[in-house]
Structures are given as C-alpha cells and as structure tokens.
Chains A and B, each alone.
Chain A
Amino acid sequence: MTRKQKRLTMILGGLAVIGLAIGIILYALSGTITFFHTPSDLTATGVKPGQRIRLGGMVEDGSVKKGTGTETTFAVTDQIKTITVSYNGILPDLFREGQGVVTEGSLKEDGTFVADTVLAKHDENYMPRELAESLKEKGVKLGKGADQ
C-alpha cells in the first residue's frame, strides 16, 4: 500500500468506529433516559403506566406508613397534587416527612406509583436541584437548604 492508501484506510476505519459509536449513543439516549416529574405535571404530561420516570416532591407530613415486612408507603406532594408511592426496601437515612425526595419507578393503572429506588441524600440540607427548581416554579415555599 502507498502512504496515501494507508492513511485512507486508517481514516475510514476510524470514522467507521466513531460513526458506530455515535449510533449506539443516540440509540441509547432515545431509550434509556428517564424524565423527571412532580406529581402535578405527571397528570398534565400524560405519562403512561409502566413508563420509567423519576417522581420528586415533598414527603407529606403524616403520610409515611410502614407495611408488613419491608413495605413502606408515603405520599409525595408538590402542594398541588399528591401521589401515593409504595416502596419495598430500606429508606435512606435522611428520608423524613416534610423533606424533599426523589423516587424512581413507574405508575400503576390505579394511579399510585411503585418506586424501586428512593434517592439518598448526602446531607441534611440537600434538596435535589431539579426538585428545588420545579417546586420554585410552582411557587411552593421551600425550607432550609432548598436554594442549593
């Protein structure tokens, strides 16, 4: 092969790899991202049951009920609408009533939310940014640390 042909082979090979990779990335982006919603825009945007989403809001005071074994149900609210969330597992250390929370899972047909993940917070003042902004837009008054 001449110098030119060698270089061409390398460049074409490289472009093929990059093209393939970008294809995979785009495909993955269309399929694996999860959207973040608060209870009220969950109804507004028409999320279908079974679709994987993140649901965020405040844990309503007095709503946490321990079930049998490791089952827990609680209500997540953005003060406009409230959704009941059930979760089987251990709640993060900083999960508390009246505090912000982000859960991941999907809606059931009956309108309740089944979470398989409840996001742990790293310290007591932490509120997920996406949540703080969404709540602020809706004019919900936020507690300490919410501006972070």
Chain B
Amino acid sequence: MIAEFGHFALILATGVALYQFLVPLVGAHRGDTALMRTGISAAVLQLALIAVSFVVLTHAYIVSDFSVQNVYENSHSAKPLIYKISGVWGNHEGSMLLWVLILAIYGGAVALFGRNLPLELRSRVLAIQGAIGLAFLLFIVLTSNPFQRLDPPPIEGNGLNPILQDPALAFHPPFLYAGYVGLSIAFAFAVAALIEGRVDAAWARWVRPWTLAAWMFLTIGIAMGSWWAYYELGWGGWWFWDPVENASFMPWLVSTALLHSAIVVEKRNALKIWTVLLSILAFSLSLMGTFLVRSGVLTSVHAFAVDPERGLFILIILCLFIGGSLALFAWRAPMLKAGGLFAPVSREGGLVLNNLLLCVACLAVFIGTLYPLALETFDGPKISVGPPFFNLTFGPIIMPLLLLVPVGPFLAWKRGDMAAVWRRLWKSLAVAVVIGLIVLAVNIRGPWLAPVGMAMAAWLVLGAIADLAARIGLFKVPLSSSWHRFTGLPRSAIGGILAHGGLGLMIAGIIAISLWKVEVIVALKTGESADVGAYTVTFLSETPLSGPNYTGRAGRFLVKEGDREITTLVSEKRNFQPSGMPTTEVGLLQTLLGDVYVVMGDETTDGARAMRMYYNPLVNFIWLGAFIMFCGGLLSLTDRRYRVGAPKRAISAQAVAAE
C-alpha cells in the first residue's frame, strides 16, 4: 500500500509540474500577480510530493520490500543499511527519481528564498523549472516506474553490484546530480532573461550563486567518482577519459567558464549574450551527460537503462530543451544590448580568454567522446578514442589557460597594466621557474613535461598566494593591519584564491602520477619481496576470508622503507553472494607524498601469485586540490553579496553605476 502511495504522489507531482510550467508563464505574460504567485506554491507542492515519493522508495529499500520490483532487482536483505539506502539511486528508476527530487529542491529554493527577485522573473524561472520537471516526471511515470509491484513477492533480492557497495560511490551520484541539475537554474534564468529581453548586473548576481553551487557539487562529485575509480577498480589510475567521465567533465568545464563570465556581466555589464549562451550550453551538456550515461548508448557501470524506448524518450527531451532554448536564443539574443567597452589587455579580456580556452577544451573532449559514437551510428568503422587523443588535445589547450590563471586577478578592469602585473608577480614567477629547474636537474633525462608541469603547478599556487598578499598588503603595512584587511576581505575573494591555489595542487598531483608512477608486475610466493619506488613490499601470507555478503582470500603484505617497517597492507579477492561476482580490494598505503598500491592477482603455474604494485607519487594532491576548490566555492557562496536574492534590482543598478 505504501508503494502505491509513492506512485500516486509521483503522478500528482507530474500534474503539479504541468501547472507550474503553464500558469506562471501566462501570469507573467499578462502581468497577473495572482496567477504568478500560484507558481510559488506549485513549486513548493511539487517538492513535497516528490519528496514523499522518494521517502516511500527509500522506505521500501530499508525494510527490503521485495514485492517492489525495483527493490527486488537491486537490493538484498543482507546488505549493510548504508548500501540499502544508496541502492535507491544505484539503479535507473531510482536515480531518475533522485534527479527530479534534486530539481524540485532547487525549484523549491527559488520559490522560498527568491523573495527579492522581481515576481515576473521568479515566475518565469519557476515555469522553466516546471517544464524540465514535467519532462522528466513524464519519463519516469511512463517508462521507468520505480514502484512496479511483483506478484508473488520473491523472498530474497538480487543484490547491488558489489563494486558499487562503497562509501565514496554511495554519495557520488547525489553530489553529481546536485551539480548537473543545479545548472538547470542558470538555464532557467537564461531562458527567462531571453523571454524578458533583459540581462543586467542584478541578473548576473542572481545567477552566480546557483552556478557556483552547481559547480561546487560537480567538482566534488567528479572528484569522488575519480577517487572511487582509483581505489576500487584496482587499475592504479584515477582518470581514464572514459565517455562517462567525460560526460560529467564537459558540464564542469562550461560551468567554470560561466562562473567567470557572469563576473563580467555583474561588474561591467558586458558579455551578456555570451553568458546567456553559456548558461544554455552548460545545462545542455548536463542533459546530454544524463542521456549518454542513462540511455545505454555507452556501455558502462552507469548504463542501467538498456531499453531503447527509454533512450529515445530522453533523446526527445534533449532535443526539445536544447533545440528550443537555442532557437529562443537565436530569436531573442539580438535584442539584448551590448555592454561596456574594454581593452584586450584587461580583466575582461583575461576572462574572455579564460572562456575561450575552457570552451575549446570542452570542444576537444566533446569531439573525442562523440566522434566514435557518430561514426558507429553511420556504420563507419568501430574505433576507440582513448587517453592519447585527450592528452594530445586537451593538454595543449588547457596549458595556456593555466599559465594565465595567476595573471587574471591582477589585471584591472577596462584597461590592464602589464607592468604593474609584472611588479606584483615576478617573484612568484621566479620561484616557479627555479622549482622547474630543480625538477629538471634531479630528473635530467625525464620527460620535458615534468619540469614544465611542476613549475606551472608552483606558479598557480604562488600566484594565488601573491593575490592574497597583494590584497592584504602583506609586509607592506604592519602585520596587524594586514590581519585586519584579511578579516575584511570579501569571502568570494578568498574563495577565488582558494580555488586557484587548489587547482595548482591538483596539477602537481596529476603531473606527478602521470610521469613518475612506478608500476611493478611480478609473481610472488609467500615470503618473497619486490621493490616499489623507495619501498619494499613483502608477501607475508594468504588467508581465507568471509564477510557479511562475500567470501574470498586475503593477502597480507609488509611494507618497508629501507629497514623501517611502515605498515601491513591487505589486498583481497572477494566473491559476492548472491551474484557470484568477483571483485578485488586494493591494499593501499596513503601518504601525502605518495601511495603504495598493491593488488593481488591470480595464482600462477608454480604456486606463486601475480601481483601488481604501484608507487603513485603525490596522487592525493589531486583530491586534496579538488577539495580545496570545493571549499573555495563554499566560502564564496557564504559571501553576503551573493545570498540568494540578496540584491535588489534597483539598488544594484545604482551600485554598478557608482563603480
């Protein structure tokens, strides 16, 4: 009975979404305040209904109600509670329900906290949100009902794919979806602005916090996915340029560009048309990501839906929203007035270059991801585009951007002064070059990318520090007044500094693991050892293993550095019940300087076991950097200037005029 209640709530929500789409739009067109106001209630009601539906499904998973087909197919009563809950979104139907839930949360937030938005704009934004919600709710209700019953109910469920039973992966989809779906708000604002024919500084201030939130969630979601791939798949890598990874990376690139171009709209009232286009593109790429990952076009752990009818449905949604919004853009964008003037060397110019490079980098990823699919669709040869393509294209495109990141914040608006930038940055540049030379000296025969990459990483981190030092007048004024200035800095400024510095740490990690990774493949008998980087790994013993829903074998390894014993690692081969699927657990020693990574393989003919071991230098800098970027975003979001709906249009218009 409870499951039917959830299904009923979902159908009601579909009706409410239809109302939320049409009525506020008509209201805004006619200037009818009463009609527009109902849109706000509709958004809140839709959130409540979808939340009920989601709670009902979660309840079915927690109590292992196998009369619900979705629970039967994806859960098992012996599973730990956290994976029963994460199992809700570990399948096609549940993950789509999570998608609309997050959409409704964003919609509800605009409705409840957007009090200072002009009513017309708020109504139009909610209407666009309603339209997106309607499309996806119809998709769920018509093709992917998560509440389908089974009669008679089976006694036990099929279980969740064991490699998905992992803490990092349990929370990877909600974060990633919060990012994907968060971009729908920027999209809704862009479409609403096109309908109104008006984009101004206040509009950019409203869009920025939503884009920032989406970007933050995408950053941490992608980082979690990569962290999971690193230690769960046992391949020793952290990024594979897999189409599914690319599908989440493309919206990240474009939303990063959007984040920066919205600053120009806000401060200088320029790049308006471009920013509107980016908002549309960012969400279009999110939708495309959802389509690629969920339609079964790509074969991967994410491809739950293999039903062609579903793929077609999502494709139609995709065409409607992307095509519709781009057509609206082509029709209405010329009505937006072009904004302020600026010299090529200026903050605006720097941000334009940032946008250009990010978008071109995204184009390279786009082509690499879709070209094989397009070729296959037209019966061409079957090809795969792998890491060599992306390293050759993405690398050279993104490198100039990384070089310019520290310069940007020092450029003045309208007309920049390179001499002034040089005075403030030459020390950072000098130290970075020295670091590069040291790397070159230590590693003289190594690849040229090593010194260049490390110098670049140092340049990013030092540039961020120089930015902070300049803002607080470090060593130019007494330390106490520097501290005073620091506490007075806008949080968004510190957020930006953190994000740029975090990027530097991430680059250091990426360069180090790409170029200095040590891989050892060796057959070991118990008692034998192998050298991995500066460490010696000894195979101690092998014992049988039994867990709550698996059995297997565990290998123990002693890790020594010189004569000093560091730790004992355990790598396991597990066989999961009920599916019988084997998995490998990596033995991992994590340190800030580098990881020792041990994978136990099959038995060889002479009674030894094949082992794969890695020393991954600085690899944790990748996730540390991503986490710092996330924190930077979070800090900016708490900046009072960007509180949702904080600026009023009239006031902020004056503020811009005064600047």
Contacts and interface: CB of A to CB of B under 8 A. Distances in A.
A121 to B, nearest CB: 9
A34 B375 CA distance: 13
Contact of A25 (B393, B521, B606): B393
A133 B303 CA distance: 17
Contact of B360 (A17, A31, A70): A17
A54 B233 CA distance: 21
A13 interface: yes
A142 interface: no
Contacts of A32: 385-386, 388-389, 392
A120 B342 CA distance: 53
Contacts of A51: none
Interface residues of B, number: 60
Interface stretch (B4-12, B257-265, B444-452, B597-605): B597-605
B383 A128 contact: no
A80 interface: no
A67 B356 CA distance: 53
A25 B382 contact: no
Interface stretch (B79-87, B104-112, B121-129, B579-587): B579-587
B582 A94 contact: yes
B383 A91 contact: no
A33 interface: yes
Contacts of A126: 299
Contact of A33 (B161, B384, B521): B384
Interface stretch (B181-189, B220-228, B363-371, B488-496): B363-371
Contacts of A130: 376, 382, 384
Nearest to A28: B392
B197 interface: no
B605 A67 contact: yes
Interface in A54-94: 54, 66-70, 88-91, 93-94
A123 to B, nearest CB: 5
Given A25-B363, A89-B521, A90-B521, A123 B301 contact: yes
A148 B383 CA distance: 19
B610 interface: yes
Contacts of B323: none
For the complex, would chain B's binding face be called helix, strand, loop or mixed by DSSP majority?
mixed
B357 A33 contact: no
B522 A70 contact: yes
Interface string A19-42: 001001101110111111000000
A34 B306 contact: no
A128 B604 CA distance: 27
Contacts of B360: 17-18, 21
B349 to A, nearest CB: 8
A123 B367 contact: no
A111 interface: no
B396 interface: yes
B388 A93 contact: no
Contacts of A43: none
A14 B358 CA distance: 12
B546 interface: no
Nearest to B600: A90
B521 A17 contact: no
B396 A24 contact: yes
Contacts of A1: 343
Contacts of B611: 90
A134 B352 CA distance: 46
A144 interface: no
Nearest to A36: B382
Contact of A93 (B356, B385, B396, B582): B582
Interface in B598-623: 599, 601-606, 608, 610-612
B367 A29 contact: yes
A90 B392 contact: no
A122 interface: yes
Contacts of B522: 69-70
Interface string B276-302: 000000000000000000001001110
Given A36-B382, A122-B300, A66 B605 contact: yes
B523 interface: yes
B479 interface: no
A129 interface: yes
A88 B372 CA distance: 28
B55 interface: no
A10 B584 CA distance: 53
Contact of A90 (B342, B343, B385, B602): B602
A124 B580 contact: yes
A123 B367 CA distance: 28
Nearest to B299: A129
Interface in B378-435: 381-386, 388-389, 392-393, 396-397
Contacts of A94: 581-582
Given A14-B356, A29-B367, A29-B371, A24 B383 contact: no
B544 interface: no
A91 B582 CA distance: 12
Q: Which 5 A-B pairs rank lowest in CB-CB distance, beginning with the nearest?
A: A90-B601, A36-B382, A32-B388, A122-B301, A69-B523
Interface of A: 1, 3, 6, 9-10, 13-14, 17-18, 21, 24-25, 27-29, 31-36, 54, 66-70, 88-91, 93-94, 120, 122-124, 126, 128-130, 133-134, 147-148
15 contacts: A18-B356, A21-B393, A35-B381, A66-B605, A68-B523, A68-B606, A69-B610, A89-B521, A94-B581, A120-B235, A122-B161, A122-B300, A124-B580, A134-B382, A148-B303
